[in-house]
Amino acid sequence: MKIAVFSTKPYDRKFLTDANSCLEKPHQLEFHDAQLNSNSSLLAQGCDAVCCFVNDNLDATVLQQLAALNVKLITLRCAGFNQVDLAEAKKLGIVVARVAEYSPHAIAEHTLGLILMLNRNLHRAHHRVRENDYSLNGLLGFDLFNKTVAVIGTGKIGQVFAHIMQGLGCEVIAFDPQPDPAVAAAGVSYVALNDIWPTADIISLHCPLNTNTHHLINSDAIAQMKTGVMLINTGRGGLIDTPAVIAGLKSKKIGYLGLDVYEEEANLFFEDNSNSLLQDDIFARLLTFPNVVITGHQAFFTREALTAISNITLINATHFEQGEMAKICQV
């Protein structure tokens, strides 16, 4: 089938082209740099499907435009689907497919990377050594061993992350509205959300963004946290009320902040903006803290993950084309 692929970078084109060439009946892929929104939706003209990523806009207006172009399938090349108005898609009869699982290890390992970087001040140490500065003042870290790590959302990624932290000798506690007995059997203690805040030395977010989890980390939650807590978000930007977190950093309640996602990232991430002025004052403030490390939504970005994402994205389209609806990973 003919698929308009939005928000593509060279690596997307390479991995999708490689995956497509392995299919018995390859699809016709039309790659676009443009993000999908109401101004770019016309690029899908003549296509049966669109392939989208995390910051493409699939609100009601865009979905109606796609339906008018006779697009019948949205094949997301990501796990999260908070960018899609699912009710509208259903109303319009557009099928939405996603990649439910590709490599939970990619995200969980990146989460560990942020923790180690913040704890041992690796970002600052790296710059110091390059400046011929070998002083250790300000680089003091703490042992992860025996610390309490809270995992919010023990799905595929949260489980791998919990296991990694257990391997470092941490005590892992968790909150999930649907506790997994296998996770509990592996030694993770499920507790109420209100018990996470005063107990955890490190809090890591691995739940989806939805109406229940929007601004889960807000001023109320922060007020209950341990002073000096480390907060890590590789889930979705909207899980955190960023101004509240900035206030927490300024008061030193939050001792460390690691982000791979940001609520307003759609206007920033995945692009080289180095020749432009940063217009987002909240993001700019975050960048001033020495105890904040931000990566630009790269936790998923491993060879293994991109290979799996590309394969599953295109196989979802193949199943749709063949009418094998039960085999599609539908949202």
CB of 85 to ligand NAI, least distance (A): 17
Give the residues across from 151 on adjacent strands: 174, 204
Which one of residues 225, 299, 309, 314 is an interface residue with ligand NAI (CB under 6 A)?
299
Of 27 and 236, the one with the shorter C-beta distance to ligand NAI is 236
Counting contacts by CB under 6 A, is residue 207 touching ligand NAI? yes
Counting contacts by CB under 6 A, is residue 311 touching ligand NAI? no
Helices 104-119, 122-130: inter-axial angle, 10-degree rounding: 60
Of 111 and 291, the one with the shorter C-beta distance to ligand NAI is 111
Kindly write out the interface string for residues 118-157 of this chain, putting x where it contacts ligand NAI by CB under 6 A and - elsewhere.
----------------------------------xxxxxx
171 is an active site residue:
no
Counting contacts by CB under 6 A, is residue 213 touching ligand NAI? yes
Give the residues across from 150 on adjacent strands: 173, 203
CA–chain centroid gap for 319, Å, is: 26
Of 147 and 236, the one with the shorter C-beta distance to ligand NAI is 236
Tokens 């899609």 correspond to what residue?
84
Of 219 and 295, the one with the shorter C-beta distance to ligand NAI is 295
Name which of 7, 3, 18, 8 is nearest 58 in CA terms.
7
CB of 257 to ligand NAI, least distance (A): 15
Contact 316, 75 (CB under 8 A): yes
Dist CA 214 CA 218 (whole Å): 9
Buried residues in 223-236 as b, exposed as e (16+ CB within 10 A) = eebbeebbbbbbbb
Residues, the chain: 331
CB of 155 to ligand NAI, least distance (A): 2
Name which of 264, 257, 263 is nearest 288 in CA terms.
257
Counting contacts by CB under 6 A, is residue 236 touching ligand NAI? yes
Kindly write out the interface string for residues 174-193 of this chain, putting x where it contacts ligand NAI by CB under 6 A and - elsewhere.
-xxxx---------------
Which one of residues 261, 292, 294, 312 is an interface residue with ligand NAI (CB under 6 A)?
261
88 is an active site residue:
no
Please give the structure tokens belonging to residue 313.
């994205």
Spatial strand order in the sheet of 49-52: 28-31, 2-5, 49-52, 73-76, 95-97
236 is an active site residue:
yes
Q: Measured at CB, which residue is nearest to ligand NAI?
A: 155
Catalytic residue among 110, 206, 297, 319: 297
From start to end of 278-321, where are the E strands? 292-294
Of 16 and 261, the one with the shorter C-beta distance to ligand NAI is 261
Buried residues in 149-187 as b, exposed as e (16+ CB within 10 A) = bbbbbbbbbbbbbbbbbeebebbbbbbbeeebeebeeee
Which one of residues 92, 148, 208, 270 is an interface residue with ligand NAI (CB under 6 A)?
208
Span near ligand NAI by CB under 6 A; candidates 26-34, 135-143, 206-214, 242-250: 206-214
Stretch 30-89 residues interacting with ligand NAI (CB under 6 A): 79-80
List active site positions.
236, 265, 297
Task: Give me the residues that bind ligand NAI (CB under 6 A), please.
Answer: 79-80, 104, 107, 152-158, 175-178, 206-209, 212-213, 234-236, 260-261, 297, 299-300
